[in-house]
Amino acid sequence: MNGLDSSPNVTPAGVTFAIVQRIINNQPMPVNGGSLIALTPTQLKISLDTALDTPLPADIDPTTLFLYNKNGDQFAPFVNVTLPPLHVDGDTDIVVKDQIVTITNETELIKWFEDVFDNPTVDLSTRGDSTVHLGKLHYGAHIEKTVTVNSLNKLEGFGIETMQLMMPPEANGTNIQGTLNLPNWGTLALSFGDIKLNLMSGDIRIGLITIYDVFIPPGNNSLYFNGELFLGTLVQNFGTILASQTDALADGNIQIDATGNATTVNGERISFIEAVLNKRRVTSMISLMKLGSDLINSFTGSNQASLTDLIDNLFGNSTLIDDILGHWNTTANSGTSEKRGPRAAAARSSKLNLLKLGMKMRKMMR
């Protein structure tokens, strides 16, 4: 890559051509910003901000750049964008604005989006040919660049910020709403329409939420969601769910994981996004007391509600609940030695609070 095209004759024109090609080769063409917006299952809207820094003033014809995975077995572009006609002189900004492009290879696009999701940085490779004008002289130039762009880094920092129960539920089953942080560690803003996420505790699917009109510029993004918490599933599988929360509860948290379920834009499924999100799992650690207070406040409307005090008042027999929890610990850990130390005590205390919350939820369902 970036080699000079050779000429058998050493002429002034050939030397100038070599200089022009060398200038093109030495351009870093960084991606300084932009956006990728999913429009349909086959189209994206792309904006890119880059720059050229040339020692000579020049005009460059419109240039089609093919975007592809450099590490693929063959040159297989997944989209292409067109640079506008350019006059460059020194450090010159180049802006590709809101170009609607058709996906030419969905398989390669999915591979690239997988790298975007999984890694802190991703390579973006481009290839194209153009004509450079130096006054009345015209030279063909080949562009072949691979630049490194910051990407999503597995959505590190993803988390449910608030969650409220909605009782009675809406006609479509919606019974929770809240906000979550959807961080974008990348350089490009991303827009993927409506995203549905499965909520998981261990291997048990405990809910389904929708984030609407997802647009995430670089940085943290607090987004509204609503959906359904499967209360029946929670009650029926409470022991199993509690067991899957042991490590999180030891730190006073509840772990709720999320996996992709469906991604739609204007009602159309976006398969190249679903192919990535539906195979990934991200983790949210939520303070047990914060979550409990959010859920209780859904009914009390008070910001001062104490989860432990409120449930103790409701049930009035902490000793009985503690005995039930102790019996669960004995049966769940049969054949193993009892855990000792501060983390075990913290986990036991957190399990007690979670059991009380579960009993409260069960009472509300009756």
Mean pLDDT of 277-291: 93
Report the C-alpha gap between 1 and 68 in whole angstroms: 14
pLDDT at 340 over 80: no
* Beta bridge partner(s), residue 150: 121
Residue 4 inside a domain? The answer is no
What is the pLDDT at residue 23? Answer: 85
Per-residue three-class SS string for 111-174: HHHHHHHHCCEEEEEEEEEEEEEECCEEEEEEEEEEEEEECCHHHCCCEEEEEEECCCCCCCCC
Instruction: Find the range with the poorest average confidence among 22-31, 192-201, 325-334.
Output: 325-334
pLDDT at 8 over 60: no
Residue 5 inside a domain? The answer is no
Q: Band of the pLDDT at 291, cuts 50, 70, 90?
A: confident
- Whether 92 and 238 share a structural domain: no
Residue at 94: amino acid letter: I
The 10s digit of each residue's pLDDT in 146-186 is: 999 999 999 999 999 999 998 889 999 999 999 999 999 99
Q: Which pair of structure tokens corresponds to residue 21? A: 């090609």
Q: Band of the pLDDT at 288, cuts 50, 70, 90?
A: confident
Strand 33-40 vs strand 189-201: parallel, antiparallel, or unpaired?
parallel
Which residues of the chain form beta strands (DSSP E)? Answer: 33-40, 43-60, 63-68, 79-83, 86-102, 121-134, 137-150, 159-165, 176-181, 189-201, 204-216, 222-229, 253-265, 268-269, 281-287
- Whether 234 and 187 share a structural domain: yes
Residues in the chain: 366
- Better pLDDT: 344 or 55: 55
**End-of-domain residue from the set 101, 125, 151:** 151
354 near 311, Cβ under 8 Å?
Answer: no
Report the C-alpha gap between 246 and 266 in whole angstroms: 41
- Whether 93 and 174 share a structural domain: no
Q: Is 252 left (phi over 0), alpha (psi -120 to 50) or beta?
A: left
Domain range for 64 is 12-151
- Whether 311 and 168 share a structural domain: yes
Mean pLDDT of 6-31: 74
Report the mean per-residue pLDDT for the chain.
84
Q: Which pair of structure tokens corresponds to residue 117? A: 């999701």
Residue at 342: amino acid letter: P
The 10s digit of each residue's pLDDT in 221-278 is: 999 999 999 999 998 998 999 999 999 999 999 999 999 999 999 999 999 999 999 9
The 10s digit of each residue's pLDDT in 113-157 is: 999 999 999 999 999 999 999 988 899 999 999 999 999 999 999
- Whether 219 and 339 share a structural domain: yes
- Whether 219 and 313 share a structural domain: yes
pLDDT at 324 over 70: no
CATH number at residue 143: 2.60.40
- Whether 131 and 161 share a structural domain: no
What is the pLDDT at residue 167? Answer: 81
Strand 159-165 vs strand 176-181: parallel, antiparallel, or unpaired?
antiparallel
The pTM (predicted TM-score) of the whole model is: 0.80
**End-of-domain residue from the set 151, 169, 199:** 151
Residue 227 inside a domain? The answer is yes
Pick the most confident of 15-19, 135-139, 314-318. 135-139
Cβ atoms within 10 Å of 158's Cβ, excluding its own? 18
**End-of-domain residue from the set 126, 151, 176:** 151
Q: Band of the pLDDT at 73, cuts 50, 70, 90?
A: confident
Closest C-alpha among 192, 163, 206 to residue 296 = 163
What is the pLDDT at residue 16? Answer: 72
What is the pLDDT at residue 18? Answer: 85
Residue 3 inside a domain? The answer is no
pLDDT at 193 over 50: yes
Q: Which pair of structure tokens corresponds to residue 329? A: 């610990």
- Whether 147 and 274 share a structural domain: no
What is the pLDDT at residue 353? Answer: 59
What is the pLDDT at residue 351? Answer: 56
What is the pLDDT at residue 32? Answer: 96
Q: Band of the pLDDT at 57, cuts 50, 70, 90?
A: very high
- Whether 309 and 361 share a structural domain: yes
- Whether 258 and 274 share a structural domain: yes
Q: Band of the pLDDT at 330, cuts 50, 70, 90?
A: very low
Strand 79-83 vs strand 63-68: parallel, antiparallel, or unpaired?
antiparallel
Q: How far is CA 277 from CA 17, 40, 260, in A?
A: 46, 17, 5
Dmax over CA atoms of the chain, in Å, equals: 97
What is the pLDDT at residue 292? Answer: 76
pLDDT at 362 over 60: no
User: What percentage of the chain has pLDDT greater than the value 70?
Assistant: 77
Question: How many structural domains is the chain composed of?
Answer: 2
- Whether 121 and 183 share a structural domain: no
- Whether 143 and 162 share a structural domain: no
Residue 7 inside a domain? The answer is no
Closest C-alpha among 200, 212, 208 to residue 282 = 200
